[in-house]
Amino acid sequence: MKVSRSVIFGEPDRGRPKRMSTLYEAPLKSIVPMAEKYGLNPELLVEAFIESWRKKISRCGSLTICCRLINRNSAIFLVTDEGEVVSQFSIKLEALKDPNSFKSCLQNIPTSYYPKKKTEQKQKKIGELRYGMKEIDLKAKIIEIPPMKAVVTRFGNQSYVSNVEIADETGSIRLCLWNGQINKVHVGDEVEIENSYVASFAGEPQLRLGRKGIVSVSNHSLWP
């Protein structure tokens, strides 16, 4: 659910909305285009910067984020891609200490923050997947379906989840399926997955369906 414009930009003042706080504006102008260029989820990239601030180093996709210096008001980060410098900039400590507000700004940022040309979506192999990647298409085979577990969602509803294991010739990964999705697949099925992303669960990479994610078995779409 999108955060209302008033939360991010402030209530209108004589017909003109207030601008996003510079506390978030400056770093997001660097983080959002970076995420788009490297095919990453912007929210996961923000989380990687926060983790780097806490632990000095983190990874998101092919990017390594290193917190080089922390002073009284801000932290300075160096971003590299396989050893090549991508960017270096600072983020205010006030923003890093309030990650929920930081990430909520991503839900209603100006379109001007995005580069004009978006990275084209490409078919991936499981061995190429890295934490933070988004808009992933791939083909794989289901090799294990663990018993579903009952969980209570943050909305207070009971749901069922199973972290199904899928594999191709380059490796394997867990795919998170919910409720009716679980009963529509079987061990040995060849599946095509569209619009998925790589998250982290219990310290391991996990494939999840995005809002427009699709899983198909034997060329038949099972769910939108």
Confidence of residue 116 (pLDDT cuts 50, 70, 90): low
Same-domain status, 207 and 133: yes
pLDDT for 165-190, tens place per residue?
999 999 999 999 988 888 888 999 99
Same-domain status, 92 and 163: no
Confidence of residue 3 (pLDDT cuts 50, 70, 90): very low
Asked if residue 121 belongs to a domain, the reply is no
Asked if residue 17 belongs to a domain, the reply is yes
The model carries a pTM of 0.51
Same-domain status, 163 and 82: no
**How many domains, in total, are found in the chain?**
2
Asked if residue 120 belongs to a domain, the reply is no
Among 67, 90, 113, the domain boundary falls at: 113
pLDDT for 137-159, tens place per residue?
999 999 999 998 988 877 778 88
Among 92, 113, 134, the domain boundary falls at: 113
Same-domain status, 92 and 144: no
Among 90, 113, 136, the domain boundary falls at: 113
SS (H, E, C) the chain: CCCCHHHHHCCCECCECCCCCHHHHHHHHHHHHHHHHCCECHHHHHHHHHHHHHHCEEEECCEEEEEEEECCCEEEEEEEECCEEEEEEEEEHHHHCCHHHHHHHHHHCCHHHCCCCCCCCCECCHHHCCCCECCEEEEEEEEECCCCEEEECCCCCEEEEEEEEEEECCEEEEEEEECHHHHCCCCCCEEEEEEEEEEEECCEEEEEEEEEEEEEECCEEEEC
